[in-house]
A and B are shown apart, each in its own frame.
Chain A
């Protein structure tokens, strides 16, 4: 049973980053996904914070290693180092603060400058629960996401709305990219030697396919 599998018993390990302006709710999205927790007032993130969670995609265990980053501009030079090896990104804005949506463009550039071009990106409009304060119309964000060729979803970490779906969608898409790549290369990903790196995130040292050595715990 999955619940009894050891923490490091996984088939794939994918590194994701959470980016976006300060105060859009990145840390709460992460704690909702990783621990099912939410804090109305959580401390600001300085540097990076880190969490993991494993989910099942098809018949595989995918372990997500998620890096939550500081939002303020000052920390950008430092946090860009954490992008290394990321195969997925959730680019978060606050649906009730338009300026955080305007800055999405800068964050996208940041991502594209520091990560592999195959990275799976999802634009995430968080705080969708603040309906009376909405400043970014869904259609506007959706159109932007289409133009930029990213996935899109509106979430509420507070109401646990779409958080699970957003992360799962990104991880599933990465999984598809990875398995397609492996097929293209004529390899069955599960047949790769233990620890061999799949080259989805370029000089990636984290995201790896790992052959499970034992079927069940």
Chain B
């Protein structure tokens, strides 16, 4: 029984199987190619160190004697084959050329960049790292301004680190130093006496005063422990983020620094579980840039891009806004409405017949920008599209969520509460190019 509100295009066989590769390939699609080497200069274990493609720079950075980490399980390499729609090498190469051309202009045309990037950024050549920084308005359109802008931001970040990441003993010692130098009291040392710290009562560790730096410190400790726990379990299946290697530890430290600084600069929201998942793709992409300058400054660059990205979605993290029109509940309802608009039969079955409240699955989908639903390579691909939306990621995200439901509609229509909830809580791996295609299709229909 087909609901009469379902438009024809929805019942097209296209929804159930990937569409023809693209309009440009008349010939049958070539067999799925091995996905091109990703931007991180990772190598199979047997290959020796220098292959001349920017790897030397990276090698040079590594402390002597350290073993270059072999990212055997690099997600970009483990991307499933058979994605003729999005992994078409002809498409990829031509898009890479187009993006490179756009990036070579003195002043970048953002509209064009957004259009190209929304189709997916090829994984090679470090293009994604630069494009994402542009999409998040961290890099200005005018390339002549890049170096001054980067220098300014990076020094600002260094100041944040200096000011916000030191412990209270350092703060009180500095307070004391500045007082003693003001008094011109620099003769003590000469007398051979050990100086005794004059700690103001308010700044004593055992002081109960609310303004004490120690009081603040103890409050922060709870948040820092939470951040610590969550950073350790961010993509625990990836060597880049997890494990005992020096590089994984350094990457974890960078994520921690960013989250702590964000929490301290934003006392209204602080740290909310899940922010780590939003941060991870940004840091991964920037840290794997072929340009060494970007690698060294990945932490600072990531911080500002994280702030920018979060500014568009932070209401989802804010408990106080849960019941407001901008809060997570209302965002989930909008997704549900979108589904109802496009596929009322499925909507009815999910929400009325099997009583699967969209909160049960879409809360995580939306809050985490789908970062726990797909493998890492697929997440990056989805994010190319999310970040390309000039209005911010949310509207595109809702269409992608809706498309995820539509792509498994047959299974959902046959499922009961338990089967459907299990399916949606561990969404099957899918052809991302196709998913994004369907999501985009919802855009053109949503106002008809």
Residues of B close to A40: CB separation below 8 A: 236
Residues of B close to A39: CB separation below 8 A: 236
| Given A7-B418, A77-B322, 5 new contacts (CB under 8 A) | A43-B233, A46-B273, A46-B363, A47-B359, A78-B322
Stretch at the interface among A67-75, A123-131, A153-161, A187-195: A67-75
B317 part of interface (Cβ distance < 8 Å): yes
- Say yes or no: A41 contacts B233, CB within 8 Å: yes
- Say yes or no: A52 contacts B233, CB within 8 Å: no
Chain A contact residues: helix, strand, loop or mixed: loop
A73 CA to B269 CA, complexed, in Å: 12
- Say yes or no: A8 contacts B418, CB within 8 Å: yes
- Say yes or no: B322 contacts A22, CB within 8 Å: no
A95 part of interface (Cβ distance < 8 Å): no
B368 part of interface (Cβ distance < 8 Å): yes
B168 part of interface (Cβ distance < 8 Å): no
- Say yes or no: A46 contacts B229, CB within 8 Å: no
- Say yes or no: B233 contacts A46, CB within 8 Å: no
- Say yes or no: B368 contacts A72, CB within 8 Å: no
- Say yes or no: B360 contacts A46, CB within 8 Å: no
- Say yes or no: B418 contacts A52, CB within 8 Å: yes
Residues of A close to B230: CB separation below 8 A: 22, 44
A42 CA to B421 CA, complexed, in Å: 20
Partner of A41, one of B236, B319, B322, B359: B236
- Say yes or no: A74 contacts B319, CB within 8 Å: yes
Residues of B close to A8: CB separation below 8 A: 416, 418
Please, how many residues of chain B have a CB less than 8 angstroms from a CB on the other chain? Answer: 32
Shortest distance between the CB of B11 and any CB in chain A (Å): 29
Shortest distance between the CB of B205 and any CB in chain A (Å): 19
Shortest distance between the CB of B219 and any CB in chain A (Å): 13
- Say yes or no: A22 contacts B226, CB within 8 Å: yes
Of A40, A46, A51, most B-chain CB atoms within 10 Å: A46
- Say yes or no: B425 contacts A46, CB within 8 Å: no
- Say yes or no: B421 contacts A74, CB within 8 Å: no
Residues of A within 8 A of B (CB): 7-8, 22-23, 39-44, 46-52, 65, 70-75, 77-78, 81-82, 205
Give B244-282 as 1s and 0s: 1 = Cβ < 8 Å from A's Cβ atoms.
Answer: 000000000000000000000000000011101100000
- Say yes or no: A70 contacts B359, CB within 8 Å: no
Also in contact, A74 and B328, with CB within 8 A (given A8-B416, A41-B236, A46-B364): no
- Say yes or no: B360 contacts A50, CB within 8 Å: yes
Residues of A close to B272: CB separation below 8 A: 72, 74
Interface residues of B in 358-382 (CB under 8 A from A): 359-361, 363-364, 367-368, 372
Partner of B317, one of A22, A50, A70, A74: A74
9 contacts between A and B (CB under 8 A): A43-B234, A43-B235, A44-B273, A44-B274, A46-B277, A47-B361, A71-B273, A78-B363, A81-B359
B242 part of interface (Cβ distance < 8 Å): yes
- Say yes or no: A42 contacts B236, CB within 8 Å: yes
Closest 7 A/B residue pairs (Cβ): A47-B363, A41-B236, A72-B273, A47-B364, A41-B233, A46-B364, A23-B229
- Say yes or no: B328 contacts A78, CB within 8 Å: yes
Residues of B close to A43: CB separation below 8 A: 233-236, 277, 372
Of B233, B367, B372, B425, most A-chain CB atoms within 10 Å: B233
Partner of A22, one of B229, B276, B367: B229
Shortest distance between the CB of A85 and any CB in chain B (Å): 11
A73 CA to B223 CA, complexed, in Å: 11
Residues of B close to A74: CB separation below 8 A: 272-273, 317, 319
